[in-house]
Structure 1
Amino acid sequence: MEFLMSGLAACGACVFTNPLEVVKTRMQLQGELKAPGTYQRHYRNVFHAFFTIGKVDGLAALQKGLAPALLYQFLMNGIRLGTYGLADARGYLRTDEGVQSPVRSAAAGALAGVMGAYLGSPIYMVKTHLQAQATSQIAVGHQYKHQGMFQALTEIGQKHGLVGLWRGALGGLPRVVVGSSTQLCTFSSTKDLLSQWEIFPPQSWKVALAAAMVSGIAVVLAMTPFDVASTRLYNQPTDTHGKGLMYRGILDALLQTARTEGIFGMYKGIGASYFRLGPHTVLSLFFWDQLRSIYNTYAK
């Protein structure tokens, strides 16, 4: 039940935040491995990107990749939040005194995130490909010509086999480890502190909401460089054997980005990441916490 509630909570959040994911993906691919000022900026900021995509590609383009995004969120967060929830419910994340342990929470969050992200990696790769696809007038990054999620998975599988479907999976794990451990650790710790300080009434939904907001800020700051590198790893062109032509791995992607685009290149799309990750973290953790509370109430 923990896995089902976690997956549903993440999907609910994804419906609202997917347009921000489209914007974030394109801003992260804009000016890839080019020095600042040497390329045309199709997307100047989050709001300009929204306007540009809606105007040139159509409003429906803001929901590109929604199907794989929903499936990925259900798989990844169902496993991630579900596993973490089970560990928390059984007391593994608390000390003998019953206090939330930041170290145990971070470790459990990272391990749960790795499991979910690796299994859902093929879906995430296809999601990135679809969200990057744009009219040539505003296209950034390598352009795949997929017609949909199932067609993309079938085509990649036929060309490159199972290895091709999991291309970039290992490179995407640091992003999830950092994001998941930061998110779940800060959420649980903040929620405990707010409850101890009695800022809100006991069992109030405001406790979960405030904790999720704090968690969202921490995640954006910690995860953005790894998110930029991961997006580029998944979207890079490949040779006939399915091997990436631009990056050898996550470290190579980070180093090349920093060397050619500067330190700020590693934080491209941070505005979109904030507006996307913040609400997504808030909504998914809030929905997850409320669903667990409702289930625990009626299970008794």
Structure 2
Amino acid sequence: MEDYKVATAMSPTHYLDHAKSFLKQDSTSSLISGGIAGAVSRTVVSPFERAKILLQLQGPGSNHAYNGMFRSIARMYTEEGWRGLFRGNTLNCIRIFPYSAVQYSVFEKCKQLMVQWSPRESNMCTDGERLIAGSIGGIASVAVTYPLDLVRARITIQTASLNKLNKGKLAKPPSVIQTLRDVYTHEGGFVALYRGIVPTTLGVAPYVGINFALYEKIRNYMDASEHDFSNPVWKLSAGAFSSFVGGVIIYPLDVLRKRYQVASMAGGELGFQYRSVAHALVSIFKTEGFFGAYKGLSANLYKIVPSMAVSWLCYDSLKKAFSEW
């Protein structure tokens, strides 16, 4: 009986020690830190995210109600109030937590395996290995969360003034469950939930690879120099620069991803229907010109640059806090 009392009295400390040990594991800390960093960063830039999507979805058949990033945000606020600025953000955070968690943890695990499997004197990955690890992380994160990304794109435009989808009336957007049910029932079953995953993967994989590899390149350079990379300003700057470079390079595929996700809505009244990735790219450049493939780029950069800057700052800070706890 006395032993039981002692064990019970010690259990809170015992569990706390186990929790600390669990969080100090690299895979666990990467997973949790990545998830929190993703949710925080996306909430910060939610208005820019929605403005970018609306600009991307204005195909040749739309009325181009949205023009310019800040004017688009102002229009959203005027028509829908402050909630319009964060339309779909709750779903985005639900999606982005596992998305970002998987992305960071797979990236770290791939680097670890590459070091273990490749005979070398240094325990550091090469730039090429970081690029590959980041790309694998991007592919894994897309595979895990893609149906939620598709639903978020659908909900984002439900109340927007995009051609005939909204004839001057602010409709209440359907729920996540209802949207999933409608897509599954009316658009081809389980396969329909992954419509657009090919262009999404083609865009996300190189973007994450470039972003992660470039950030770590800058971080390693700063660590080797006399500068103190622990300063939040350096982390924010490195995250912003790496996301800017990756975002500009792969942006046309991001446009393609969003259009694939909503192309079957309203019988194609948004002005585009694509048979394949190649057909989509040719159609965009042919009917909308070179800049058609970069429609919404400025809004995208306003979104991803501060988003990834905040994400990297949160991720590195949380990882350090878990390791020192």
Task: Please say whether Structure 1 and Structure 2 have the same fold, judged by a TM-score greater than 0.5.
Answer: yes
Structure 1 CA distance, aligned partners of 2:290 and 2:185? 38
Amino acid across the alignment from 2:302 = F
Residue 287 of structure 1 pairs with residue 310 of structure 2: no
CA-CA distance at 1:72 after TM superposition: 1.7
Contact 1:76 1:116 in 2 (8 A): yes
SS in 2 for 1:228: helix
Contact 2:111 2:125 in 1 (8 A): no
Q: Which residue pairs with 2:142 in the alignment? A: 117
Structure 1 CA distance, aligned partners of 2:93 and 2:101? 11
Structure 2 CA distance, aligned partners of 1:252 and 1:285? 36
Structure 2 CA distance, aligned partners of 1:252 and 1:142? 24
Structure 2 CA distance, aligned partners of 1:91 and 1:115? 17
Choose which of 91, 101, 106 in structure 2 pairs with 1:83: 106
Any idea what the Cα deviations from partners look like across 1:214-254, whole Å, max 9, x if unmatched?
Answer: 112112211211111111010111699xxxx8112332222
Name the Cα RMSD after superposition. Answer: 2.4
CA-CA distance at 1:13 after TM superposition: 0.8
Choose which of 258, 262, 271 in structure 2 pairs with 1:235: 262
Contact 2:76 2:85 in 1 (8 A): yes
| Percent of pairs with identical residues | 19
Q: Which residue pairs with 1:60 in the alignment? A: 83
Provide TM-score, normalisation by structure 2: 0.81
Choose which of 65, 74, 86 in structure 2 pairs with 1:51: 74
* Greater gyration radius: 2
Contact 2:159 2:173 in 1 (8 A): no
CA-CA distance at 1:105 after TM superposition: 0.5
Amino acid across the alignment from 2:134 = G
Structure 1 CA distance, aligned partners of 2:139 and 2:112? 20
Q: Which residue pairs with 2:183 in the alignment? A: 156
Contact 1:100 1:189 in 2 (8 A): no
CA-CA distance at 1:100 after TM superposition: 4.1
Contact 1:7 1:74 in 2 (8 A): yes
Any residues of structure 2 matched to 1:1-150 within 5 Å, and which?
A: 1=28, 2-30=30-58, 32-33=59-60, 40-88=63-111, 92=115, 96-135=121-160, 138-140=161-163, 146-150=173-177
Alignment CA distance shift 1:202-1:79 (3 Å): closer
Structure 2 CA distance, aligned partners of 1:182 and 1:124? 21
Alignment CA distance shift 1:127-1:246 (3 Å): same
Amino acid across the alignment from 2:141 = G
Alignment CA distance shift 1:213-1:239 (3 Å): closer
Amino acid across the alignment from 1:207 = W
CA-CA distance at 1:66 after TM superposition: 1.3
Alignment CA distance shift 1:277-1:55 (3 Å): same
Q: Which residue pairs with 1:268 in the alignment? A: 295
Unaligned runs of 5+ in 2: 1-27
Structure 2 CA distance, aligned partners of 1:56 and 1:10? 28
Structure 1 CA distance, aligned partners of 2:220 and 2:211? 14
Contact 1:33 1:257 in 2 (8 A): no
Unaligned runs of 5+ in 1: none
Contact 1:22 1:64 in 2 (8 A): yes
Contact 1:3 1:78 in 2 (8 A): yes
SS in 2 for 1:69: helix
Contact 1:29 1:140 in 2 (8 A): no
Contact 2:284 2:292 in 1 (8 A): yes
CA-CA distance at 1:116 after TM superposition: 0.8
Aligned length: 286
CA-CA distance at 1:88 after TM superposition: 3.9
Provide TM-score, normalisation by structure 1: 0.87
Any idea what the Cα deviations from partners look like across 1:111-134, whole Å, max 9, x if unmatched?
Answer: 110011122111000100111223
Structure 2 CA distance, aligned partners of 1:91 and 1:293? 23
Amino acid across the alignment from 2:319 = R
